[in-house]
Amino acid sequence: MKRIAIYPGSFDPVTLGHVDVIKRAVRLFDEVIVAVAESRQKTPALSVEERVSLIKRAVKKVSRVRVESFNGLLVEYLKKKKAQAIIRGLRAISDFEYEFQMALMNRKLYPDAETVFLMPAEPYTYLSSSLVKEIVRLGGKVNCLVPDKVQAALNRKFRKKS
């Protein structure tokens, strides 16, 4: 049986922390599907198409990874993809409560799936998409924290608004 994992998130924008988690996940699974949530409620800075394309670019050289967008219930998407696991990243204790709640809720909705938590390499434990956006919004550089082209995409977005 092919072991398939889904790594869902907003990825607004993708950071090197996300990429680190993706690389760890492909060591454990035959295929990893990065599932970019449309997240209309969160009003993302980047469109879902932009987020998908930036991740595709970032994982171009990593084999067995697919990047797609999705909306609706994660567990339904898992069933459709015949995936057995959900990947989530854990950076600090502060992530734990929300992630724990989500994992147990998803288990309730679909008991056959397991949530697997992966910790990124240490330099990425303080890194979040919202912090990255805040830095760019204030005119700072995030090149060493995000994959290629992400800074440019955010610059375009925030310059347009100001």
Q: Which residues are catalytic?
A: 18, 42, 91, 129
Q: How far is the CB of 87 from ligand ADP (least distance, A)?
A: 8
Q: Which two tokens stand for residue 99?
A: 């992630």
Helix 48-58, helix 150-161: angle, nearest 10: 160
When the beta carbons of 98 and 140 are compared against ligand ADP, the nearer one is: 98
Q: With contact defined as beta carbons under 8 Å apart, do 109 and 75 qualify?
A: yes
Q: How far is the CB of 157 from ligand ADP (least distance, A)?
A: 16
**Cα Rg of the chain, angstroms:** 15
Check residue 121 and report its DSSP letter. Answer: P
Question: Can you give the binding site for ligand ADP, defined by CB under 6 A?
Answer: 9-11, 15, 17-18, 21, 88-89, 91, 95, 120, 124, 127-129
When the beta carbons of 4 and 37 are compared against ligand ADP, the nearer one is: 37
